[in-house]
Structure 1
Amino acid sequence: MSQAINAATSSSKRAYRKGNPLSVSERQQALMERRKETHKEIKVYVPTVLKERLQNLCEAEGVSQAEMISRLIADTCVPQN
């Protein structure tokens, strides 16, 4: 039975498994290129104490810092028409 399952799945391998796999840096670069289509980068400097508070808030909520900043901005901004 397992041979029949293996035969059915072996012919439909995902494209990324064919050929040489991408290196970590190549995968990261591809992700950043895709992300540039829908996101914009922000670089800011904040006081250390605020950075620590942000990290604690993110850990408590179980989200990334980028997600938390996005939430905070979305929650405080009034939609523009």
Structure 2
Amino acid sequence: MDKAEIIISYIRDELAADPDLQITNDISLFQDRLLDSLNLVTLIGFLEKTFNIQIKSSEVSVENLDSVTNMLTFLDKKI
């Protein structure tokens, strides 16, 4: 599985209210209200553990975490 598939599977299986939700790389997870602030904390923990990174509070932003595409770009910078 590539990084995008890992992230999408986690969001769909662990965070989304609807496990049948179709998530694409470019869907806006927070602006479209698919995830909320509590999910964000869980998602950050997952990303840190899975990709062996640390996310600073200053890095928590729409630019970095609102879509899978944004997360992949952010992860590429962090790894």
Which structure is larger by alpha-carbon Rg, 1 or 2?
1
Do these two structures clear the TM 0.5 threshold for a shared fold by scoring above it? Answer: no
Task: Identify which of structures 1 and 2 has the higher relative contact order when contacts are C-alpha pairs closer than 8 Å and 6+ apart.
Answer: 2
TM-score norm. by structure 1 comes to: 0.25
TM-score norm. by structure 2 comes to: 0.25
